[in-house]
Amino acid sequence: QKIYAQNPKYLTLTSNPRDELDEFLIKLPMAHSLYTRYNFVADELLPKYIKRKLRDNKSVKIVSLGSGTGDDVMKAMKLFGKQVTLVCYEIDATAIEIGRQMAKDQGLEKQVEFKHASLRQCSAEQADIAIMVGIICSLPDMMAEILSKVARKCLKPGGILTVSAA
């Protein structure tokens, strides 16, 4: 952000400066791996797991812990229609506001629920898939283990826990 703010050559007139900042950061060489991992989760990993769960169920419930805007999961959800629902746990009110607008813009508002809560408050969601993207990377091992246990409590028996480090 500091680089971005101090270099007006990167500034353009946009209606959404957050999108502009995201685009700038994604284009940085060091961000290539983040972008690649994001696309892998949204385009390959989640659709694969959703298809697997839909073989045995009429619907799939996903819980995203530390979801941010939830855009990665929403991207995957669009492939499956109303069969997939999403519950997002997020503590950043701005991310929730943006996520709700994104869900509305994509026609997913009835399938996506945001909870302004710590991911440690997730329990008994009975989800088919729980996902944590970029949450445990910077945490000490002990805390990462605790959060993985919390995530498993959100799952149905036989549910899938997906953890991706940024």
pLDDT in tens, 93-109: 988 999 999 999 999 99
**What is the model's pLDDT at position 16?**
53
**What is the model's pLDDT at position 3?**
47
Q: What's the pLDDT band for 118 if we cut at 50, 70, 90?
A: confident
Spatial CB neighbours of 48, under 8 Å, sequence gap ≥ 6: none
The label of the residue with tokens 């503590």 reads: 91
Inform me whether the pLDDT recorded for 120 exceeds 70: yes
Residue range 37-54: average pLDDT? 88
DSSP 45: I
Distance CA 149, CA 166 (A): 20
Q: What's the pLDDT band for 143 if we cut at 50, 70, 90?
A: confident
H/E stretch holding 18: helix 17-27
For the entire predicted model, the pTM comes to: 0.79
Structural contact between residues 119 and 144, judged by C-beta atoms closer than 8 angstroms: no
DSSP secondary structure, 79-144, as one string? TTGGGEEEEEEES-HHHHHHHHHHHHHTT-TTTEEEEES-GGG--S--EEEEEEESSSTTS-HHHH
Inform me whether the pLDDT recorded for 84 exceeds 90: yes
Q: Say whether 11 sits in a helix, a strand or coil.
A: coil
β-pairing, 112-116 vs 155-164, is unpaired
**What is the model's pLDDT at position 146?**
86
pLDDT, greater one: 7 or 52: 52
Name the phi and psi angles at 65, rounded to 5.
-100, 120
